[in-house]
Amino acid sequence: MKSYGIFGYPIEHSLSPAMQNAAFRALGLNACYHPFRVAPDDLEDALDGARAMGFSGLNLTIPLKERALAYLTPDSAALEMGAINTVVPARMSGFNTDGLGAKLALERACVTLDGTKVLLIGSGGAARAIAFMLAEEEAEIAIANRGKARALDLASRSGADGFGLDELERLVSWADLIINATSVGMSPGDARLIDPRWLRKGKAVFDIVYNRKTELLMDAERAGCPAIDGVSMLVGQGAASFRIWTGLEAPVDIMERAVREALGGRR
């Protein structure tokens, strides 16, 4: 049996085992995916141990994705984004599939990106991955962040324009696609970044938060906007990892169903 896993600290929240094990079962693969609690200071030893024990693939989640750059050989995307979330232990090579995950989520929702005006809110690791993906797809990008300096820095590296949150109303009016790449919305009662009155029918709204249906998505649906949740991105990046490890196309629908069922059991 081939072994796969995810390292994180904490790790109990991860939905990747449910998602990847569903994929292995669907394709009849003799493989199993396990969660491992790995503290940041133990990451190098854990990676070496996974290679020594013949693990076929790993995912990394918070707070390990940036630290892994010191111990693995990253591909160009992971190096540019400054984070690794997918590992092939045998080669000690690292990849970042977050941008691919966002792209797949948008493709499945029939959202085109070439020439599309995109408002990206946030400047953290997920926002970086999405910004570079949008640039490759030749979207027109505006990045807004609470700290404007960070928005300007990411914008300078991804061919975008950077703004503070004080300009959101104008940017929402301008955009064809709005992406929330912050953690706002993970908890009920989080303050809204976008006033529901700013949304207009025809704009698409993508929120990378996946643990609950956010107020932003509910506002988007009420306004007649296509609403895409973070489960789609989680599944997309997982599918990209699956292809890197196995060379096979991932059963995306089955993986998504497994994630949504697991989420339903936690609510």
CATH at 83: 3.40.50.10860
Q: Is residue 90 part of a domain?
A: yes
Percent of the chain with pLDDT over 70: 99
Tell me, yes or no, whether 80 and 26 share the same domain. Answer: yes
On whether the CB atoms of residues 100 and 236 are closer than 8 A, the answer is yes
Structure tokens that stand for 175 in this block: 């955009």
Instruction: Say how far residue 196 (Cα) sits from the centre of its chain.
Output: 25
Tell me, yes or no, whether 37 and 127 share the same domain. Answer: no
Report helix, strand or coil for 130.
Answer: helix
Rounded to the nearest integer, the mean pLDDT of the chain is 95
201 labelled catalytic = no
Domain coverage including residue 11: 2-96+237-266
On whether the CB atoms of residues 250 and 258 are closer than 8 A, the answer is no
Dist. CA 95–CA 71, nearest whole Å = 13
Q: Which of 2, 65, 117, 201 is catalytic?
A: 65
* pLDDT of 125 strictly over 90: no
Q: Is residue 252 part of a domain?
A: yes
Tell me the C-alpha to C-alpha distance, in Å, between residue 73 and each of 51, 153, 177, 182, 231: 14, 25, 34, 28, 28
Tell me, yes or no, whether 220 and 248 share the same domain. Answer: no
Tell me, yes or no, whether 221 and 116 share the same domain. Answer: yes
- The residue behind tokens 């094990």 is 21
Dist. CA 254–CA 257, nearest whole Å = 5
On whether the CB atoms of residues 245 and 56 are closer than 8 A, the answer is yes
pLDDT digit string (tens) for 172-213?
Answer: 999 999 999 999 998 888 999 999 999 999 999 999 999 899
- The residue behind tokens 């896993």 is 5
Q: Is residue 196 part of a domain?
A: yes
Q: Is residue 105 part of a domain?
A: no
Tell me, yes or no, whether 186 and 260 share the same domain. Answer: no
Q: How many domains would you assign to the chain?
A: 2
Q: pLDDT confidence of 266, banded at 50, 70, 90?
A: low
Q: Is residue 246 part of a domain?
A: yes
On whether the CB atoms of residues 144 and 121 are closer than 8 A, the answer is yes
For residues 207-242, one letter each, b for 16 or more C-beta atoms within 10 angstroms of the residue's C-beta and e for the rest, the string is bbbbbbbbbbbebbeebebbbbbbbbbbbbbbbbbb
Tell me, yes or no, whether 88 and 159 share the same domain. Answer: no
156: domain CATH number? 3.40.50.720
* pLDDT of 265 strictly over 80: no
Tell me the C-alpha to C-alpha distance, in Å, between residue 261 and each of 131, 264, 265, 267: 30, 5, 6, 10
Q: Is residue 195 part of a domain?
A: yes
Tell me, yes or no, whether 147 and 172 share the same domain. Answer: yes
Tell me, yes or no, whether 54 and 138 share the same domain. Answer: no
Tell me, yes or no, whether 187 and 154 share the same domain. Answer: yes
Tell me, yes or no, whether 124 and 195 share the same domain. Answer: yes
Q: pLDDT confidence of 113, banded at 50, 70, 90?
A: very high
Strands (E) across 38-85 are located at 57-60, 73-74
| 247, burial (CB in 10 Å: exposed 0-12, middle 13-18, buried 19+) | exposed
Tell me, yes or no, whether 11 and 80 share the same domain. Answer: yes
**Which pLDDT value is given to residue 13?**
87
Model-level pTM? 0.90
Q: Is residue 101 part of a domain?
A: no
Q: Is residue 31 part of a domain?
A: yes
Residues in CB range of 134: below 8 A, 6 or more apart:
113, 118, 120, 141, 158, 160
Tell me, yes or no, whether 162 and 204 share the same domain. Answer: yes
